[in-house]
Structure formats: C-alpha cells, structure tokens
Amino acid sequence: MVTASASDPKPVPTPDNVRVEDDDQPIATTAAELGPLYRQMLAIRRMEEASAKAYSQGKIGGFLHLIIGQEAVCVGATAALEKDDYVVATYREHGHAYAKGVSARAILAELYGKKTGCVKGLGGSMHIFDKATNFLGGYGIVGGHVPIAAGAAFASKYRDDKRVTLCFFGEGASTIGGFAEGLSLAALWKLPVVLICENNQYSMGTPVYRSLAVEDVSLRAVAHGMARDRFDGDDVVKVKQRIAEAVERARTTGEPTLVEVVTYRFRGHSMSDPGLYRTKDEVEEWKRRDPLNRSRARLLEVGMPEADIVALEDDVRAEIEDAVKFAEDSPAADEYKKYVIKEG
C-alpha cells in the first residue's frame, strides 16, 4: 500500500485505496442514453479548459475552481431530474449549471464579467445563478448553501409542487455547521432533497483523513435516521441510476437522502493551486479512470459508430468556440457601479 511518508502512514488516495467497489462491471446502457451524457461531460470539460486558458490570459478575474475529472457526478445526477427540479451547488459549479441547462455562452460570459452572463457579469465564477433553469447557485461559503437547499426543498413541500432539490458539496463541507443544520432539518421535516457529497479526496490541499475522524461521509445520515448511499463516480450511467433512486424517494415519500460519490479532481483546488500536496503518479493513476474516456469506450461497446462520436465531439468543439467568442465579444458589465459602496 502506498503511503504519503514514513511519518504519515495513511494511504494516499489512489483509486485502489478509496474506491467503493472493486469490480468494474459496466452498467447496462444504450447509445441513446449514454451519448447525450457523454456530450454534456465533454462540453463541460472543454468549457472548463477554455476558462482556464482565459484565466491564464487575464481575461477572467477572481477565483476559478474547475471540475475537471468530476464531470460524471453533476451530469449523471442532474440527468435523474425533471426539468423543474432545483439544483444548488458550491463555487465549483460551472458544470452543474451547464448540466441543468444554462448555456455555455451564459456561463462563460459570466466568468468573463460580461453583461450577457447569466448574472449580468456581476456574480462571476462562484455565483452562477439562473432562474429559468432553476439553477439556484453557486455559493462561496463552504457548506453555507446546504440550509439554502433545505429551504428550497421546504418550499416544494409547502407548495406540494413535487419538485426535488439536489444539493452538491465537497467532503470538506461536511465539517461545517451549515451542513449539520441543513441535514438535521431535512431529516426532521422530511424535505425532498438529495444531498450529494462529491468526495474528491481533498479539501483544498487537505486529504480526507486529516479532516474527518470518520471518512465515510454518508454515515452522517445514520445519526438522523436518513437514507444514505455511497458509490464511485466515474461511470456516469451508474451515477444517474443511483441518484435516480434517491430522487424517486424524495419525490414519492418526501424523504431526503445523503449520497457520497467518490471522485477526484485532476487539477488544483483553484487556478492558483499547483497541487504540491500530491504526487504526479497519484494524479496519473486517477486519470487512467477518466470518466470521459470510460464513457467514450463504452459508447463504442454499445454500438455507437466512431464517426458519430467524432461528429459529436466536433459539435462540442464548435459550441464551446462559439461560447468563447460570444463571451469575448460581449460588453463588460457596468451595472456594478450601482452597487459599489461609496469610497472614503
């Protein structure tokens, strides 16, 4: 077993050490199901790569947290929803917004601080929000959005509108008071919310074993008599199926579920993080399980012709190139002046 060092005997988070299931049996699927999921994951990856490039060129300000490596989680989970359902996410939320239906144009323009962004260029990377698709943010305070998701679910219960709320957060958020409060109320009031912990093994540079006495985040559900689930997040169809069970429970019985999805981010915490707390070998080992490569291979297995996959990939390239051009050509947000507190 690989460990960080002699003085730090805990195993480093390689796939072998932290994955939930040993067997890798592919989940039954069809090209009709997997094709659109692969397309969404690829579009998110290309959008994230385009934003990283723009950030390096100084065209995007503030912070930028990318989801590269984790795409199967937001895409698979959101695919289990109905159109009117709600999604609440963290600052690592560009992919979640895209999966919920916000366009790459509106997301990239927002990151660029342009008037045409989904928050008119005033929110930026950490505060994507879009009422039209019921994407309810984008929050920078770790764990602070869990009670907000519980609130959205409470509204659904009160109105009896049968909507379900998905709330995404990292394992670091499970140490925060807001998480405990949101979890407690969701269980007590039986709110139709699915709480999804994207356990990407690090909270900034801190590995799980340094922040959690009990590393299985899903076990927090037990204290509240809440349903729970825990599985690997590199097979997008598996994510869709397992989250669908929790969504069904929320919609039909009003009961919440805490789900932990084991995943990994390929890049640093944010653009300013060189990731010196982990080795290149560790990252490479996870990249061998890249959810996009896995889905592409599976598409071939289930009979999608290579030419169709290439056409889909060309289509994604065109979509993201168009979105980058749209963001670059759009006018800068100037409304912010209305909100600036008088200096002096």
Residue ranges in contact with ligand TPP by CB under 6 A: 90, 92, 140-142, 169-173, 176, 200, 202-204, 269
Question: By C-beta, is 119 or 261 nearer to ligand TPP?
Answer: 261
Q: Give the nearest distance from C-beta 143 to ligand TPP in angstroms.
A: 6
* Cβ within 8 Å of residue 47, ≥6 positions away: 94, 95, 98, 104, 107, 108, 320, 323
Helix residue ranges per DSSP H, the chain = 15-18, 31-56, 71-78, 94-100, 104-111, 146-159, 177-188, 208-211, 236-253, 280-287, 291-301, 306-329, 336-339
Q: Give the nearest distance from C-beta 314 to ligand TPP in angstroms.
A: 31
* Cβ within 8 Å of residue 97, ≥6 positions away: 87, 89, 107, 118, 128, 130, 133, 135, 138
Q: Give the nearest distance from C-beta 250 to ligand TPP in angstroms.
A: 22
For residues 283 and 265, the answer to whether their CB atoms sit within 8 Å is no
Query: Tell me, what amino acid is at 71?
Result: E
Question: By C-beta, is 2 or 204 nearer to ligand TPP?
Answer: 204
What is the radius of gyration, based on Cα positions, of the chain? Answer: 20
Question: By C-beta, is 282 or 319 nearer to ligand TPP?
Answer: 282
Q: Give the nearest distance from C-beta 177 to ligand TPP in angstroms.
A: 9
Q: What is the Cα 93 distance to its own chain's centre?
A: 6
Locate 268 and state its tokens. 């640093």
Please, what is the Cα angle at 168 between 163 and 173, to 5 degrees?
Answer: 135
Nearest to ligand TPP by Cβ — which residue? 170
For residues 174 and 217, the answer to whether their CB atoms sit within 8 Å is yes
Locate 245 and state its tokens. 């069970």
Question: By C-beta, is 133 or 203 nearer to ligand TPP?
Answer: 203
Q: Give the nearest distance from C-beta 90 to ligand TPP in angstroms.
A: 6
Q: Which residue, among 263, 253, 260, 164, has the nearest Cα to 221 in the 3D structure?
A: 260
Question: By C-beta, is 167 or 309 nearer to ligand TPP?
Answer: 167
Question: By C-beta, is 290 or 319 nearer to ligand TPP?
Answer: 290
Q: Which residue, among 234, 246, 227, has the nearest Cα to 69 in the 3D structure?
A: 234
Question: By C-beta, is 134 or 200 nearer to ligand TPP?
Answer: 200
Q: Give the nearest distance from C-beta 212 to ligand TPP in angstroms.
A: 10
Q: Give the nearest distance from C-beta 194 to ligand TPP in angstroms.
A: 17
